[in-house]
Structure 1
Amino acid sequence: MHELGVVFYVIDDVERVAKENDVEHIHSVTLEIGEVSSVIPEYLLDCWKWAIKKHDILIDCELKFEPIEAVTYCEDCQSNYSTVEFGKICPRCGSENTYLIKGNEFNIKEIEVY
């Protein structure tokens, strides 16, 4: 489960930002997670609940998610389509000359403080 490592990474970044801004407690953290990022939000949340108990600045901190739809671009017909629904093959022209343009991201979008 790589979600635990992801949580440690997020906590390290959030604590660094909090320290730089003299923040004593963080109310919530919002993450943007791409549909095909390989991060499973439910597992991430379980790891988060366990890990924040070990960091005073994060006690009772809520973890929020904003999904990013996976979109693929077809170079042959110059169209975008849903990656999750259709995969690598373009549903409009049948081409495999495609690439992912969004949906693999994992970003800390917002840190809310009291």
Structure 2
Amino acid sequence: MHELGVVFYVVRDVKKVAEENNVKKVSAVTLEIGEVTGIIHDYLIDCWNWARKKEQVMEEAELKIEQIDAVTFCEDCEQEYPTVTYGKTCPNCGSEHTYLRRGNEFLIKEIEVSDS
């Protein structure tokens, strides 16, 4: 389960940002996760709920997840298409000269802080 390792990195980075900005309480963290990262959202949330309780600044922080849909680009017909539906083969021209344009990202988008 690599979700736990990912959560450790997110907690570390959020804690560092909180310290640098004199934040006492983080209320929520929003992640952007690509559709083809292989990360299982339910596992990630379970790991988050366990790990956040270990850090006082984050012990009540909610995890919000925004999915980035996977999109592939075809170099032959120069069209984009949904990766998960069609895979590596372009549905427009049948070419396999394609590459993933987006959908493999994992980003901390936003850190919300509490006023109290």
Is the TM-score greater than 0.5?
yes
Cα separation, 2, equivalents of 1:79 and 1:8: 38
3-state SS in 2 of match to 1:46: helix
Alignment of 1:89-108 (within 5 A): 89-108=89-108
Aligned-partner residue type, residue 81 of structure 1: Y
**TM-score, normalised on structure 2?**
0.97
- Give, in angstroms, the shift of residue 60 of structure 1: 1.4
Q: 1:23 is matched with which residue?
A: 23
2:67 match: secondary structure:
strand
What CA distance in whole angstroms lies between the structure 2 residues aligned with 1:40 and 1:106?
A: 12
Q: Which amino acid aligns with 1:74?
A: C
Q: CA deviation at 1:59?
A: 1.2
Q: Distance in 2 between matches of 1:101 and 1:23?
A: 36
Distance 1:88 1:71 in 2: 10
Identity of aligned pairs, percent? 62
Equivalent residue, structure 1, for 2:52:
52
Tell me, in whole angstroms, the C-alpha distance in 2 between the residues paired with 1:106 and 1:22.
25
Uncovered stretches (5+) of structure 2, i.e. residues with no partner? none
2-structure distance, mates of 1:55, 1:39: 23
**Which 4+ runs in 1 deviate beyond 6 A?**
none
Specify the SS of the correspondent of 2:51: helix
2:73 is aligned with 1:78: no
Paired residue type of 1:61: A
- 1:111 correspondence with 2:111: yes
The 1-side partners of 2:79 and 2:58 are apart by 43
Aligned length: 114
Does residue 67 (structure 1) correspond to residue 67 (structure 2)? The answer is yes
